[in-house]
Amino acid sequence: MDRLIQANGQPHYGIFPAAPGLVNYRDFDFRSPMGRKLGALAKWRRFHQFQYFGLISDELIGGCALANLSLLGVGFVYLFHPASGRMIERQFKLPLGFGSQFSQTPDQGVCELRSGGNLLRLENSAASKEKRLLVELDDGTHIEACFSEAEPAFQPMCINTQAGINGWVYAQKVAGVRCTGQVRSALGDFDLTQIGAFAHHDWSAGYMRPETHWNWACLSGQAGEQRVGLNLSCGVNESSFTENCFWLDGELLKVDTVRFDFDRDQPLQPWLINSYDGQVELRFEGRGLHKERLNVGLLASNFKQIFGQFSGVLRPTGRPEVRIDNLWGFVEDQYVKW
């Protein structure tokens, strides 16, 4: 599929075998809930896009995100050292996104944010099927990380769903891939290959509900002889299709709807995550979190990303069950008005 939006102005919907060449949102026939055609200004204001790169290992956990919220460019990065409990985190907010750029080609191009002596950069290459993260902070923190979907072959989750009466969300997810690169920081220096790091990646864009909420879970690691990745959500990307899935050695296996059971006031307490079809039965124990709050009238966000360990079982249909024993990963509790 060359373009997500068809010639008639309507999106392709469904789960796709590969990413569209271009998320051509400007060609979308955007209407008000009452059917009135909306122009270029409304298309710009309501289109939102974000990209996330996560690092997962027993020795180091990291996350970096960039978001284009039209009125605001947002970025964050953090590193967590499980052995010591120490953490480095930085947040950036750029009015109207000045100092940032975003590509609408999911498998190709650059998304980055520059603020003073700080750089957050995510670069995707269609030719090599690589996703790269570069972080340079004015405190000396330096992160270079990369994974490939080519060797061994990996099947990403590529999905587009309707969002409310007049929107849609394209999401592209990867988990359970090995990660290479280097990290230099006040927490220490790390070779990502030597510490057995895995990566998670999320590229999402579209006309999301003006007020929305979601929970999300992801894990990556080694379970016995298999590389395992997991991507589950509840509250978004669920109209007719869901993004819920896990990967065994890069093979995508679809999962039904899921339920997140947790205490919103105490997010570091255990979470229980179960799928309706019985393929997922997990318990998550939080070890730390990154959180942000924003409330400036037109924009509001109450965001918690918790990192910790999963235990439980995956039951792929017609295959032996896969035991999950203290694998590191993430969960989220997110409210947004935009």
Distance CA(64)–CA(57), nearest Å, equals 15
The confidence score (pLDDT) of residue 6 equals 98
CA end-to-end span of the chain: 29
31-35, 127-131, 295-299, 316-320, range with the lowest pLDDT: 295-299
- Amino acid at the residue 334: Q
What is the rounded CA–CA span in Å between residue 187 and residue 78?
Answer: 11
Say if residue 56's pLDDT is above 90.
yes
Domain borders along the chain are 14-337
Q: What is the pLDDT of residue 82?
A: 96
Average pLDDT over residues 119-123: 98
Q: Tell me, what DSSP letter sits at residue 238? A: -
Say what the pLDDT of residue 287 is: 95
* Whole-number percent of the chain with pLDDT over 70: 100
Mean pLDDT calculated for residue range 155-174 = 97
Contact of 48 with 69, CB cutoff 8 Å = yes
pLDDT for 228-271, tens place per residue? 999 999 998 889 999 999 999 999 999 999 999 999 999 999 99
Whether 327 has a pLDDT exceeding 90, the answer reads: yes
- State the pLDDT at residue 138: 98
∠ Cα 160 234 120 (to 5°): 70
Mean pLDDT value across residues 125-146: 97
Q: How confident is the model at residue 296 (pLDDT cuts 50, 70, 90)?
A: confident
What topology is assigned to 14-337 in CATH?
Answer: AttH-like fold (2.40.370)
Q: Each residue of 180-202: pLDDT tens digit?
A: 999 999 999 999 999 999 999 99
Could you write out the DSSP letters of every residue in 54-85? Answer: EEE-SS-EEEEEEEE-SSEEEEEEEEEETTTT
Among the listed residues 260, 268, 278, the one whose alpha carbon sits nearest the alpha carbon of residue 315: 278
298 pLDDT exceeds 90? no
Mean pLDDT value of segment 132-145: 98
CA pair distance 291, 305, nearest whole angstrom: 6
pLDDT above 90 (res 110) = yes
How far from the centroid of its chain's Cα atoms is residue 221's Cα?
17
